Amino acid sequence: MGMTLTQKILSAKAGLAEVTAGQLITARLDLVLGNDITSPVAINELKKAGKKGVFDKNKIALVMDHFAPNKDIKSATQCKCCRDFANAEKITHFYDVGEMGIEHALLPEKGLISPGDLIIGADSHTCTYGALGAFATGVGSTDMAYGMSSGTAWFKVPSAIKVVLKGEKAKHICGKDVILHLIGKIGVCGALYKSLEFTGNGCRNLDIDDRFTICNMAIEAGAKNGIFEADEITAEYLKGRTTRAGTVYKADPDAEYEQTVEIDLSELKPTVAFPHLPENTRTIDKAGNVKIDQAVIGSCTNGHISDLRAAAEVFKNNKVHKGVRAIIIPATNEIYLQALHEGLIETFIKAGAIVSTPTCGPCLGGYMGILAEGEKCVATTNRNFVGRMGHTSSEVYLASPYVAACSAVLGKLGVF
């Protein structure tokens, strides 16, 4: 029996000729990730277990992105814990204020991910790195602690769903519309502990930012990971970022999939996930009259340069609607600088939006855009659970940067 793309990577990292769905394995790690929320828990677990030292100071990344720059004493204490640990262990890839960005945009940008890698991260959206042909998945802080100490982790090999993409997307359609359409189709438990493997001729019509967005939200369908086969688009992104070629794996022709889902990109319309689940999707023409109080464009899902360009195109000759707060968050400093050079930042500010330092901020209800009772926000983030961005009676509508920008101008969900 052939293996899926994910199973190929897991078998190689486990040192096995083959693996099958449901099999328990121990595999070698290429990178262990933590942030300012999850890392202190892992660090304390290491101390409690009496563990000293890390398996490889070059294969651990700690990113201060959720509450940095620190918003209060507690968040400052969290970051200090990470900072002290990184200094003591001489962690190579420690990213603090001035160097940090939103982790899932930053690590690929820094060249820390290559095709065929196996990455665990104490953050559920670690699955983002599947866009580069790597197996990446979120874990708990105790698994992070074990990974930092041993350089290994255990896995139950997932079965897989094949997502066949075909056709070419329309002008204002992006990866966010693709993944929202898929989640709306299969549900938030539709890929529970399965690998979402994206294939088909339509992949060539998705740029790397589209792929990052799609893999980022694989977890919102319950998936263990999302993954694209590395190709020339992957290679172009990695050029100049890393000297590690990695290993390009391909699924076997006779690989077994539990389900096959086909998506014709040419048929997609701008899509919005209504409260309070990512599966509660509607196309924008069926959104109705939903007035908004806030628009957030950014996050690890849609804070890339192509996302900012899409938003700036809308804002260029328009103003943010009176009474709407528009918040733009570039995902990394590199993206921020690129947006600055292209004049996008000026466009945002002249339109009446504000531009934040790279941070997860409002996405998880942290800071920089918390919602009050009854307020509604259209956001390019990845979750719209009850109370996700503030008060439990507030509402979050997930959408693409294009839809979010148009809605900010209109004062309600909609497009031009």
pLDDT digits (tens, 9 = 90+) for 311-350: 999 999 999 999 999 999 999 999 999 999 999 999 999 9
Q: Is the pLDDT assigned to residue 243 strictly greater than 90?
A: no
Of 281, 285, 301, 276, nearest to 376 (Cα)?
276
User: How far apart are the C-alpha atoms of 341 and 347, rounded to whole Å?
Assistant: 12
SS3 224: coil
pTM metric for this prediction = 0.96
Position 52 confidence tier, pLDDT thresholds 50, 70, 90: confident
Per-residue pLDDT reduced to its tens digit, 288-297: 999 999 999 9
Q: Is the pLDDT assigned to residue 2 strictly greater than 90?
A: yes
Q: 403: how many CB neighbours lie within 10 A of its CB?
A: 30
Per-residue pLDDT reduced to its tens digit, 109-127: 999 999 999 999 999 999 9
Give kind and range of the element (H or E) at residue 243: none
Residue 296 contacts residue 330 (beta carbons within 8 Å): no
Position 384 confidence tier, pLDDT thresholds 50, 70, 90: very high
- Segment 80-102 shows an average pLDDT of 96
pLDDT, position 1: 78
pLDDT, position 179: 98
Per-residue pLDDT reduced to its tens digit, 365-381: 999 999 999 999 999 99
- Segment 239-259 shows an average pLDDT of 94
Task: Spell out the SS3 assignment of 301-352.
Answer: HHCCHHHHHHHHHHHCCCCCCCCCEEEECCCCHHHHHHHHHCCHHHHHHHHC
Of 390, 345, 394, nearest to 370 (Cα)?
390
SS3 402: helix
pLDDT, position 54: 96
